[in-house]
Structure 1
């Protein structure tokens, strides 16, 4: 039976999920530039990374909080990755525009899905805020008396919510009409997203552990 605890947890998780961040920028840009399969792959990669942090939170400990050195290393790795991703976005904005899906079918298959999944996983797993968020969510909202089975249900729900929400975003963006409208401003979107990612990388690198 679903309890008020579940609805409070799900509501807090959804509000965080709906907040635009690096994952959101990656999904929108990849869907426009590389197509729906790449975007769905990125959605799965993001969900898998979130699932990893959910599993750590379910285990009752946080490697990030227990190890300042690991947290600092992940912050630097995330800063470098975000800066690199921003640079890629900026460089991609200089390339000729084309609707995703116009490339040969062979380029839109397995490799596109796997490439998107890898990019999505790295984007989410290298963000230390994700680990701290899930650990804090379970610590503050889930009571000590809640059984492990119910906690596992919470975790599976959040994993599914991440994937479904991101996949729905990809499907909405990759609709032919939406894509035709968005692709006209794709270089501007990529330059703006690249700049935001670089600013986020600098802010993360300069922040204190």
Structure 2
């Protein structure tokens, strides 16, 4: 029971991680624009926010389900944050600056590890889909008879899987060859990502009206 349950849970979780979203766009921009340290900070922040939702789901309760008002508030906050993040992307694309050397922070940039951690945590924590996803994943794939020890192991696995995946993306994007390849096209990438984030914010807001 345990191996099959774990494989189903881990497989579904990894497929979800591979799906691009706001966190993916944030990580790519962090690695290219601000360097590896900022990107790793964002990966840690995203993992911590996911860990919060994982703990809620495995604990057998969901604040999002128990409080429709909280869910609505989170969706409004998420739409505002996505719009703000998209605006930052657009603004940054209009002021191209020299990209950092591989593995280093851009000179004079105020964005370090702590800034990346905060941005990553907000990006993942203000996305209500994360809470709904983990609650659904646990409800569908973790049996009622599964003990607390196994649930803890599942939670730790998913937490470290999120961090490992995101950190690997940051390390890949901060390689010298990747920076050289994507450097000239970064403003266009940022404009496209900013537009996508602002559209996502508009759709989320319209769904609330």
Aligned equivalent of 1:103 = 106
The reply on whether 1:57 has 2:60 as its aligned counterpart is: no
Task: Report deviation, 1:58.
Answer: 1.3
Runs of at least 5 residues in structure 1 that lack an aligned partner in the other structure = none
Q: How many residues align?
A: 206
Tell me the alpha carbon deviations over residues 133-189 of structure 1, each in whole angstroms, 9 at most, x when there is no partner.
001101001000110100110000000000000000000000001111111100000
Deviation at 1:59, TM superposition (A): 1.1
Residue matched to 1:151: 151
Task: Tell me what 1:184 maps to.
Answer: 184
Q: Contact 2:30 / 2:39 at 8 angstroms: preserved in 1?
A: yes
Distance 1:76 1:102 in 2: 33
Structure 2 residue runs of 5 or longer lacking an equivalent are none
For normalisation by structure 2, the TM-score amounts to 0.95
Change in 2 beyond 3 A, CA 1:102/1:61: closer
- Equivalent residue runs for 1:61-76 within 5 Å: 61-76=61-76
- Inter-partner Cα distance in structure 2 for 1:179 and 1:112: 18
Query: 1-side partners of 2:117 and 2:208: how far apart?
Result: 30
Determine the C-alpha separation between the residues in 2 that align with 1:107 and 1:33: 9
Following superposition, the deviation at residue 97 of structure 1 comes to 3.1
- Give the Cα separation in 2 of the matches to 1:69 and 1:40: 33
Q: Tell me, in whole angstroms, the C-alpha distance in 2 between the residues paired with 1:69 and 1:147.
A: 32
8 Å contact 1:97–1:183 — kept in the other structure? no
Q: Give the Cα separation in 2 of the matches to 1:98 and 1:167.
A: 23
Question: What is the CA deviation profile of residues 33-59 of structure 1, one whole-angstrom value per residue up to 9, with x for unaligned ones?
Answer: 000000000000000000000010111
Deviating beyond 6 angstroms after TM superposition, the runs of 4 or more aligned structure 1 residues are: none
Query: Which SS does the other structure have where 1:61 is aligned?
Result: coil
Counterparts in 2 of 1:12 and 1:171: CA distance versus 1, 3 Å: same
The match for 2:23 is: 23
Asked whether 1:38 is paired with 2:13, we answer no
Q: Is the 8 A contact 1:75 1:128 kept in 2?
A: yes
Q: Does residue 115 of structure 2 align to residue 115 of structure 1?
A: yes
Structure 1 vs Structure 2 CA RMSD? 1.6
